[in-house]
Amino acid sequence: MIRSTLRRALIGAAFGIAALALPAGAQQAYPSRTITVVVPFAAGGPTDTVTRLVAEAMSRDLGQTVVVENVGGAGGTLGAARVAQARPDGYTLLMHHIGMGTTPTLYRRLSYDPVGGFETIGLVTEVPMTIIARKDIPAANLQELAALVRKETTKLNYANAGIGAASHLCGLLLQKAIDAPMTTVPYRGTGPAMTDLIAGTVDLMCDQTTNTTEQIRAGAVKVFAVTTPQRLPSLPDVPTTAEGGLPGMEVTIWHGLYAPKGTPEEIRLRLSRALQVALRAPALIQRFADLGTAPVAQDRATPEAHRAFWQADIAKWRPVIQAAGQYAD
Ligand code: ASP
């Protein structure tokens, strides 16, 4: 009895030593458990929709479940903070959008480093925007809408996902193009904002086609324009902003996948490979197309291409925000 206990203890110790002697990577191949992708906006919105499609396709390649966690609020900065402060082990990731380009200048006081706090995995998609309104708004086209905004100004309100959100930026561009102010109504994401727009409790919104296409087709909201130089095959009857009389009001919203700073290179490359596989999946491409978008080219779904694009976007927005002198704090 004593001898067999001793024997078990010795065998146990030997296994322990053997496990310690194994090189780190050989102990458990990555990924060995569920991966969480934080969406810094509410469920049901466009970033959430894109992320769920990508997460599902990536999980097939990674052989592990990839779950989405919505951490909305403060223009996406709460969710970004959560990931910047997470363990850099490849199990907590961030899917964000153009806000990663504007936040470093817009927000001067943050609890995390909005640039140095992250590693890039790859770009995902660039999504057109649509200008939409509650369906009973008394305007039949973009010109009439512009006239209404000039007449009513701050009596009209536009929903957005907080300062620095895509919907906020697009709303600013719209007000500048029309040359009249409106009242801002912030939400934790444009998923819940859409619910209020359909109910008619807010007047206007400018949001990604990944949130608006189905509501436009269903007639739940009134659409005025797409913010691209050409019409979209998914919404062929909707005029462009230029056709509607607001030339130059063009904007698309890029999305990228991030990991916390310090995530090992082999993990980042594994994730990047899985992202590239996901973006080639026929079902994902089809769903993206139905929602008015497309995956980026494969060579853009890499850490280097993503970082270069992100840095250029920060440099593009910095002078614009500084000239406007409007900060989030
Ligand atoms: N479309 C939102 C934005 O305005 C975010 C979201 O809910 O995905 O940035």
160 C-alpha to ligand 1 centroid (Å): 7
Rounded to whole angstroms, the Cα distance separating 60 from 41 reads 24
291 C-alpha to ligand 1 centroid (Å): 15
- In ligand 1, the atom with minimum distance to the C-alpha of 161 is 4
Q: Do domains 29-127+253-324 and 128-226 have the same CATH topology?
A: yes
Q: Where are the domains of the chain?
A: 29-127+253-324, 128-226
- In ligand 1, the atom with minimum distance to the C-alpha of 170 is 4
DSSP 107-176: -SS-SS-TTTTEEEEEEEEEEEEEEEEETT-S-SSHHHHHHHHHHHGGGSEEEESSTTSHHHHHHHHHHH
- In ligand 1, the atom with minimum distance to the C-alpha of 207 is 1
Q: Is 102 in the pocket of ligand 1 (CB under 6 A)?
A: no
Fold exhibited by the domain 29-127+253-324: D-Maltodextrin-Binding Protein; domain 2 (3.40.190)
> Do strands 221-226 and 35-39 pair parallel, antiparallel, or not at all (unpaired)?
unpaired
- Going by alpha carbons, the residue nearest to atom 8 of ligand 1 is 47
Tell me the two tokens of residue 16. Answer: 């322990």
Rounded to whole angstroms, the Cα distance separating 258 from 117 reads 10
CA-nearest of 224, 206, 150 to 181 is 150
Close Cβ partners of 59 (under 8 Å, ≥ 6 residues apart)? 35, 65, 66
Contact predicate 61/29, CB 8 Å: no
Q: Is 167 in the pocket of ligand 1 (CB under 6 A)?
A: yes
212 C-alpha to ligand 1 centroid (Å): 11
Quick one: pLDDT at residue 12? 40
30 C-alpha to ligand 1 centroid (Å): 31
Give the tens place of pLDDT for each residue, 188-231.
Answer: 999 999 999 999 999 999 999 999 999 999 999 999 999 999 99
Q: Is 207 in the pocket of ligand 1 (CB under 6 A)?
A: yes
- Going by alpha carbons, the residue nearest to atom 7 of ligand 1 is 189
Q: What is the pTM of this model?
A: 0.90
Summarize the confidence of residues 158-172 as an average pLDDT: 94
Quick one: pLDDT at residue 8? 44
46 C-alpha to ligand 1 centroid (Å): 6
- Average pLDDT of every residue of the chain: 92
128-226, superfamily in CATH? Periplasmic binding protein-like II (3.40.190.10)
Q: Is 46 in the pocket of ligand 1 (CB under 6 A)?
A: yes
39 C-alpha to ligand 1 centroid (Å): 10
Q: Mapping DSSP to helix (H, G, I), strand (E, B) and coil, where does residue 48 land? A: helix
Give the tens place of pLDDT for each residue, 246-262.
Answer: 999 999 999 999 999 99
Give the tens place of pLDDT for each residue, 15-69.
Answer: 333 334 444 444 579 999 999 999 999 999 999 999 999 999 999 999 999 999 9
Quick one: pLDDT at residue 325? 81
